[in-house]
Amino acid sequence: MSRFLIFFSIVFFSYSLYAEIVLDGSLGTSKATLSGPDYTIGEELGRQNGNNLFHSFNKFNINSHESVTFLSPDSINNIISRVTGGTSSNIDGLIRSNANLYLLNPSGIIFGENAQLDIQGSFHASTADYLKFKDGHIFDAHNLDNPILSIAPVESFGFLSNSTLSVNNSDLSVPVGESLSLIGGNLQIDGAYLNAASGRINLIGAGSVEKVNLQSPTNGSISLNNSTLNTSGDKSGTIFIRGGNFKMRGGLLDASTDTIDGEGIDIEVDELLIADGGAILADTVGTGKSGGIIVKVKGTATLDGEETVVYAESLTSGEISDIVFEVGELNIINGSLIGTGTYGSGNAGNIIIKVTDGSLQLLDGAQINTLTFDSGDSGNINIVVKDSLKLAGEDSRNIGSLISVSTEGIDEHPEHVGNAGIITIIADSLSIADGGQITSGTFGSDDGGKILIKITENIELSGVDTEGFPSGIFASSNADYIDSETQLGKSGNILLETRILNITDEAKVSAITDGAGAGGNIEIKAQNMFLSNYGNITAAANFTGRAGSLILNVDKLQLEHGFLKTIAEQTDGGNIFINANKYIHLTNSDISTSVKADNGSGGNINLKSEFIIQNYGRIIARAFEGSGGNINITTSGIYKFIPTLASPIDASSKFGLNGIVEISSPDGDANKNIVNLSTDAFDASNQLKTPCNTRLAENLSSFTIIASEGVPNGFNDLLPSGPMLQPMPNILGNWSQSLVQKNATNTVAKKLRKLASGCIL
């Protein structure tokens, strides 16, 4: 019996200690322990000055199933409470207040899974050491002697330490339009739901910063795990985050609006990690314009995981604001996504990324995209990177990394689809590998967007992914599901400017049209340009639309098993213009325009270079029944390896008129500048000897291999297929807002896969 009494006493004592609310007596009321479990704290227990009511506690703890009610007259706007006893506050019950409530405890605050708020105003919890008011007065949790209580609003939170404020599986909500603030030295939020509908949520990790307001930078850590922050409403509110190292694993930040233009999400931290399906959304579901998403990171920002998204979309006529990333370095990896989209008449927002100190990487299926499924236009993508931009690798869905703008007409009104945006990229270097792609596409009646890329040093395009989708840069217009004869959506143009362009291992730059709209032009400015191992640049028209042109301005152009070509199925071929200041060198390679149409004319080829070298290199402007294209070459010399038939300059038509081949030189005498080189222009056999050969007799035989694959395609041969674009996955994963959205996204994936098969759509 005595043991039971002792045990009961210990448990009761521990329970009572945990649940205590004790006044410290510093504001005129004697030190006293209040009675629970339903605590009432009236104005008589504190001190009023103007519209502010002040309370001071030695201890402030609320157990599960307990409540604390702060009462005040109607004249009070703010109830300001401090905890001075040196122990943290454990809040696991209900807090009520009929005014804005401030709770200050520099020793720490812990909200438990049963913590709730019933506050007729805003709630601000902080581990700050003092509050500073706009009149300069301070309410200090350490200096309790003769406090001067201010009548002014709170201006800032003052920190002398960095105690942690924790929220563990709590559900904390404030009324519509009010603010919920958690301001600590560090913040630890796990499994929580924080709600301020049409209001404001402030998360601030102060760290070593002494004075904190909503404008000052801070450096405390913020950890947000599987938690939801929600300011959605008829007018969306603001989610405001300031700190040092911010890690968000799982969970959701949601600032979606309905009928009134909303606010958005504002994050400014030193380091950022969003992983494990964490989602940041700022949508509009009505006529209101959504708020933007602004992310500023001093150091490195990382998005990691297939369900990890930063996304803004419009489901109706509401507009979408921009998504802005301004970071030191940015890694988007493992299928994560930054994107905007519209499923109605509202325009999608732009995506603006500025990397100020390092590189931008999209790895293993990562994406940056903006799209439209209806009459609203997709947004633009603007990327500026101080160092390198890299796209490479696939995710578990076998999707390569992607930067894209696209349009997709809905089945009921495919003619109403909006325009695709423009992709603009500025960087020091660009690398695209393993099926990574930069794409602009339209699947409806309006135009695809332009792709403008300016790179200071090198552009490297190489390889394919595991399913054969090539790395590269693509602009396309596709009309496989509407009236292709009247579909006038144009493919966008591609403009590349760099010092060195290297396209190898089946990588591509391509502009293609599958409808009545014109294909895009490809214009390249570079010092050195190298295509090898079936790397190619193609402008193609697979239906009645005119094929685009290739326009190259370079110093040196070298192709080794590389191809520059325009292709037309039912119309005139596209043209090729090349101005190479020093030389054009073709080895087992083509510069060609081809037409399969009965009466389509071959595209023209215009070459201007100091020297042209053909080593099984073909320059061809062919047609079927229409006229062959014209070939105009201005050069000081053309050098052909024997056999010269393997290096033709051909403007023929199988059944129509042949085109004209005109070769001119600066001195006016072209014939003397065509030189046939023997196959031993260099000793190929010597290249095949092993080191041991040099030790043998001098008159041994040798075996020399001469390539035999330089014969042009026959007139009845199948033309090469169009470009292969990455299929688009269900970009929003579990955060998809509607079945319409899921189905529409999957439709795009199917159409892009069909285009990728090489079929004429």
Pick 759 or 39 by higher pLDDT: 39
Least confidently predicted of 7-16, 270-279, 645-654? 7-16
Neighbour count for residue 758 (Cβ, 10 Å): 13
Looking at residue 24, what DSSP letter applies? Answer: -
CA–CA gap between residue 442 and residue 576 (Å, rounded): 24
Mean pLDDT of 618-628: 80
Mean pLDDT of 87-102: 97
Judge whether residue 501 has pLDDT over 80: yes
Q: Which amino acid is it at 57?
A: F
In a domain, residue 68? The reply is yes
In a domain, residue 482? The reply is no
Which distant-in-sequence residues (6+ apart) come within 8 Å of 645 by Cβ?
none
**Residue in 748, 733, 738 with CA at minimum distance from that of residue 408:** 748
Q: 275: which 2 tokens? A: 């992983």
Judge whether residue 253 has pLDDT over 70: yes
Q: Which helix (H) or strand (E) holds 462?
A: strand 458-462
**Residue in 72, 122, 114, 120 with CA at minimum distance from that of residue 93:** 114
DSSP β-ladder status, 67-70 and 94-97? parallel
Read out DSSP for 102-148?
EEE-TT-EEE-TT-EEEESS-EEEE--SEEEETTS-EEESS--SS--
CA–CA gap between residue 372 and residue 323 (Å, rounded): 16
Judge whether residue 485 has pLDDT over 70: no
Q: 686: which 2 tokens? A: 């010597």
In a domain, residue 586? The reply is yes
Give the pLDDT confidence score for residue 442 in this predicted structure.
Answer: 76
Residues in the chain: 761
Give the pLDDT confidence score for residue 696 in this predicted structure.
Answer: 41
Give the pLDDT confidence score for residue 236 in this predicted structure.
Answer: 95
**Residue in 349, 402, 412 with CA at minimum distance from that of residue 378:** 349
CA–CA gap between residue 112 and residue 90 (Å, rounded): 7
Which of 671, 706, 741 is a domain's end point? Answer: 706
Least confidently predicted of 386-390, 589-593, 657-661? 657-661
Give the pLDDT confidence score for residue 689 in this predicted structure.
Answer: 44
In a domain, residue 75? The reply is yes
CA–CA gap between residue 402 and residue 366 (Å, rounded): 6
Which of 205, 230, 255 is a domain's end point? Answer: 230
CA–CA gap between residue 539 and residue 720 (Å, rounded): 11
Which of 706, 721, 747 is a domain's end point? Answer: 706
Q: Which residue has the tokens 């006229």?
A: 627
Pick 31 or 729 by higher pLDDT: 31
Looking at residue 467, what DSSP letter applies? Answer: T
Give the pLDDT confidence score for residue 594 in this predicted structure.
Answer: 82
- 140-181 pLDDT, tens digit per residue, is 999 888 788 888 989 999 988 889 999 999 999 999 999 999
Q: How confident is the model at residue 377 (pLDDT cuts 50, 70, 90)?
A: confident
Q: How confident is the model at residue 518 (pLDDT cuts 50, 70, 90)?
A: low
Integer angstrom CA distances of residue 55 from 78, 79, 99, 101: 11, 8, 14, 11
In a domain, residue 669? The reply is yes
Give the pLDDT confidence score for residue 19 in this predicted structure.
Answer: 58
Least confidently predicted of 364-368, 569-573, 597-601? 597-601
Mean residue pLDDT of the chain comes to 83
Integer angstrom CA distances of residue 742 from 252, 421, 733, 735, 749: 19, 22, 8, 10, 11
Tell me how many domains the chain contains. 2
In a domain, residue 328? The reply is no
**Residue in 121, 18, 120 with CA at minimum distance from that of residue 66:** 18
CA–CA gap between residue 662 and residue 643 (Å, rounded): 22
CA–CA gap between residue 592 and residue 538 (Å, rounded): 10
User: Phi-psi category of 386—alpha, beta or left, where left has phi over 0 and alpha has psi -120 to 50?
Assistant: alpha
In a domain, residue 588? The reply is yes
Contact 517, 486 (CB under 8 A): no
Judge whether residue 13 has pLDDT over 60: no
- 692-734 pLDDT, tens digit per residue, is 444 443 444 434 333 333 334 443 343 444 444 444 444 344 4
Give the pLDDT confidence score for residue 260 in this predicted structure.
Answer: 94
Contact 15, 37 (CB under 8 A): no
Strands, E, within 176-237: which ranges?
179-184, 186-190, 193-195, 200-205, 211-212, 222-225, 228-230
CATH number of the domain to which 64 belongs: 2.160.20
Q: 691: which 2 tokens? A: 């080191």
Neighbour count for residue 681 (Cβ, 10 Å): 12
The three-state DSSP-derived secondary structure of 529-543 is EEEECCCEEEEEECC
CA dihedral of 38, 43, 46, 47, whole degrees rounded to 10: 170
Q: Which residue has the tokens 């578990």?
A: 396
Contact 623, 573 (CB under 8 A): yes
Q: 39: which 2 tokens? A: 């605590």
Q: How confident is the model at residue 657 (pLDDT cuts 50, 70, 90)?
A: confident
**Residue in 402, 415, 378, 423 with CA at minimum distance from that of residue 517:** 415
| Number of helices and strands in the chain (H, E) | 3, 59
Mean pLDDT of 733-753: 40
Q: 3-class SS at 286? A: coil
In a domain, residue 349? The reply is no
**Residue in 458, 457, 440 with CA at minimum distance from that of residue 449:** 440
CA–CA gap between residue 761 and residue 755 (Å, rounded): 7
- 316-361 pLDDT, tens digit per residue, is 888 889 999 999 999 999 999 999 988 877 788 899 999 999 999 9
Integer angstrom CA distances of residue 181 from 77, 152, 424, 488: 17, 19, 38, 53
Which distant-in-sequence residues (6+ apart) come within 8 Å of 691 by Cβ?
none
CA–CA gap between residue 300 and residue 360 (Å, rounded): 10
Give the pLDDT confidence score for residue 418 in this predicted structure.
Answer: 64
Q: 24: which 2 tokens? A: 């410290």
- Expressed as residue numbers, the domain containing 132 is 23-230
Strands, E, within 469-507: which ranges?
472-477, 494-497, 500-504
Integer angstrom CA distances of residue 420 from 301, 424, 439, 493: 28, 13, 11, 12
Phi (first) and psi of residue 684, to 5 degrees: -65, -35
